[in-house]
Amino acid sequence: MTIKQLRMKVVEQLYQIGLEDSQQIAAWIFSHVLQCNSAHLIAHETSTVKPDEIATILKMAERCADHEPVQYVTGHTEFYGLSLHVSPDVLIPRPETEQLVELSLQEIKTFGAAKVIDIGTGSGCIALAIKHASPQMKVTACDLSQSALEIVNTNAQKLGLYLHLIHTDVMSDNFLSDVGKGYHLVISNPPYIPDVEYSKLPRMVRDFEPSSALNCGNDPLKYYRAIRDHLDRGLVHDGGLLTLETHVDYAESVCSLFSERNQFQVNLREDYSGKPRFVIVKPLNEHSSSTID
Ligand code: GLN
């Protein structure tokens, strides 16, 4: 069987069960198994696929037809130009989070060897992208999930990037003593999907991605409030900042959470679809100097 014939069969199978991006999913599977890029697949569409490769491709297609995300099936995704290992222990990084990285890098481009922390790092995508783009930064990544930190460790080693990993809970009183104070950049994409919305998410998300990385229970602001309390106690260095990804419906509320204190300069930014998505918080100096030890 040729690449073209097998590809048509797989696309058809995925399309039949209603996967709109069946072409894209098939391309990911073929590129992964045949270890090539998608241009190569087209240029060599009349090449014969070996029987063991056919079997692997069909098995992977079967898993995708069962609504498992192709990134978990192949164990791999792309984020900000980096190839990352992912498993159901971590959220599959979303394109909007690449924008969070981009705007954060813009903010810290003059910072030199700054201290950065990514809270709730998951696959490590944010922390690794920052470290890759700015190797002089000292980047810490923390998460509540030990199995997520193992994935981060795998990714960091594969990419030859050094991260300081900390197993801790942003909701705990011990958080500050676990991670320390005085970061120049605090960055986070915390879980922000409330229960009512979470229960309506597609099966592909609900059945496979870790709910702990997405679902914030009944209080969509709880992680943002916890982070604000850590800012009050000196998590951010004088002149430093906090950058956050938020739910589009709660972006304004996250802004208010910080602006109601009159101690923070707060900016709301839109994502590429024009929706309010990112919040940048800069503690005002008089506040910072009075609370940092
Ligand atoms: N952007 C993700 C989604 O919509 C949610 C990420 C998060 O909860 N932090 O699936």
Closest residue by Cα to atom 1, ligand 1, is 94
Q: Which two tokens stand for residue 91?
A: 């959220």
How many A from CA of 205 to the centre of ligand 1? 10
Instruction: Place 286 in a pLDDT band, splitting at 50, 70 and 90.
Output: low
pLDDT tens for 118-166 read 999 999 999 999 999 999 999 999 999 999 999 999 999 999 999 999 9
Measuring from each residue's beta carbon to the nearest atom of ligand 1, which residues come in under 6 Å?
94, 189-193, 214
pLDDT tens for 32-65 read 999 999 899 999 999 999 999 999 999 999 999 9
Q: Give pLDDT, residue 292.
A: 32
Question: Quick one: which atom of ligand 1 is closest to the CA of 209?
Answer: 10
How many A from CA of 232 to the centre of ligand 1? 26
Question: Quick one: which atom of ligand 1 is closest to the CA of 201?
Answer: 10
- Residue to mutate, 79, 94, 195, ligand 1, most ligand atoms under 8 Å from C-beta: 94
